Amino acid sequence: MRVRTGPKDPALRRARICYDHLAGDLGVQMLDSMKRQRLVRHSKQAIELTAEGKRFMENSLQISAETLAHPRRPVCKACLDWSERRHHLAGTLGAAVMTRFTELKWAARDAAPAAAWSILPAMARSGSPSYSERANSRAETLH
């Protein structure tokens, strides 16, 4: 018998907030995409925002790397996802990305369950490409 960790509700498994950053399947996919596009570098000990990642955050999401520094919180941190059992992005960058998604109305809190968020439907309503599509199109221009 296989034990499934995390929430049973599909909406919570797909996208939710973990403290102040994106979690669930979409949070894990976002970090995976950032690694593939070399926006972050992940070693066993830490995640680091690359120079290309800083440019991408500034140009695409208007998140300045200088605003991410905090004396008691890392810029990037791997956070083990409750349902996926893989990492999603935490730290000041994870929080800034989630805040920006909300400001752009790419993310909206669902009415129920309380912690679930609609991510891609909100992005689709705004007419904006998804995070992965933006990262993929940026990568295509680099190669």
In the chain (143 residues long), the average pLDDT of successive 10-residue segments reads: 64 82 89 95 88 96 93 91 87 93 85 57 46 43 29
Q: Please report the pLDDT score of residue 139 as a whole number.
A: 34
Q: Please report the pLDDT score of residue 132 as a whole number.
A: 47
Name the residue type at position 65: A
Q: Please report the pLDDT score of residue 141 as a whole number.
A: 30
**CB-based contact 90:78 (threshold 8 Å):** yes
Token pair, residue 24, equals 């669930």
**Cα within 13 Å of Cα(114), Cβ side:** 1
Q: Please report the pLDDT score of residue 25 as a whole number.
A: 87
Opening angle at CA 117, ends 114 and 122, nearest 5: 140
Q: Please report the pLDDT score of residue 54 as a whole number.
A: 96
How many Cβ atoms sit within 10 Å of the Cβ of residue 116?
21
Q: Please report the pLDDT score of residue 97 as a whole number.
A: 93
Q: Please report the pLDDT score of residue 41 as a whole number.
A: 95
SS3 96: helix
Q: Please report the pLDDT score of residue 29 as a whole number.
A: 93
Name the residue type at position 6: G
In the chain the beta strands, taken as DSSP E runs, fall at 16-18, 21-23, 40-42, 47-49, 77-80, 87-90, 108-109, 117-118
How many Cβ atoms sit within 10 Å of the Cβ of residue 76?
22
Model-level pTM?
A: 0.74
Q: Please report the pLDDT score of residue 142 as a whole number.
A: 29
